Amino acid sequence: LARRLVVAAVVALFSAGILTVTTAAPAQAAARLNVSSSLGGAVASRSGPTTFTVSGSGFQAIDGGFGGVYVGFGWVNGSNWGPSKGGATGNSFDYVPDDQSKNNQGYQTFVAFPGSETAGEAQGTMSSDGSFRVQMAVPGPTFTGAGGKRIDCLKVTCGFFTWGAHGVRNGANEAFTPVTFQTGAASADQVDSH
């Protein structure tokens, strides 16, 4: 009798639309950035520029898609900083501006989707599995952001982050990894000269 009541209850829930069975979509890893500097780890110099290797994984790669992602160094304000959540440059995030050309100073990079028509202007290309690797530079703990404000990374949270390139908003491709500034650390130029 108890078994019949349970079966009847499940049938009633299905009929009422309260209980549904869904098929899970394939899992995709969340977009992540791993950064390593010439000083080791996510550490930059307080006294000058620092060279970084920035590796991305778990990004949504759109084969042949327009654009890709920008990778920049700068400041974010909280967890809802991204353009997909209404964030805007100079308001919820800001970054060190750089020339949009392929051979810029390395403060901002463009990573194109695999097979994208815009790949010729990019500093890197995303693999079909959503990974990439680029070299970047951090000028130091202070800079004037693309939004025109002076940013002091010793007072606000700074690091590397990604957002959709060419105006494409995609929350799956927004990631942030903080960077700390070490007192007394030699800059990349000083490290390279020894």
- Give the model's confidence band at 184: pLDDT under 50 very low, under 70 low, under 90 confident, else very high: low
Task: Please report, for residues 25, 93, 151, the alpha-carbon distance to residue 90 in angstroms, rounded to integers and kept in the order given.
Answer: 36, 6, 10
Of 5-14, 89-98, 137-146, which range is least confident?
Answer: 5-14
For strands 108-112 and 124-125, give the pairing.
parallel
What pTM, to 2 d.p., does this model score? 0.79
pLDDT of residue 193: 36
In this predicted structure, what is the pLDDT of residue 186?
54
| Res. 64: pLDDT tops 70 | yes
- As to burial, measured by CB atoms within 10 angstroms (0-12 exposed, 13-18 middle, 19+ buried), residue 159 is buried
CA 90: distance to chain centroid?
17
- Mean pLDDT taken over the chain: 83
pLDDT band, residue 107 (cuts 50/70/90): very high
Q: Please give the Cα distance from 150 to 173 (Å, whole number).
A: 26
- CA–CA dist 92, 72 (Å, integer): 14
Q: Which comes out higher in pLDDT, residue 81 or 8?
A: 81
Report, as an integer, the average pLDDT of 170-188.
83
* All residues at 6 or more sequence positions from 1 whose CB lies less than 8 Å from its CB, including other chains: none
pLDDT tier, 185 (very low <50, low <70, confident <90, very high otherwise): low
- Contacts (Cβ under 8 Å, ≥6 apart) of 18: none
- Using the predicted structure, report yes or no on whether residue 26 has a pLDDT greater than 70: no
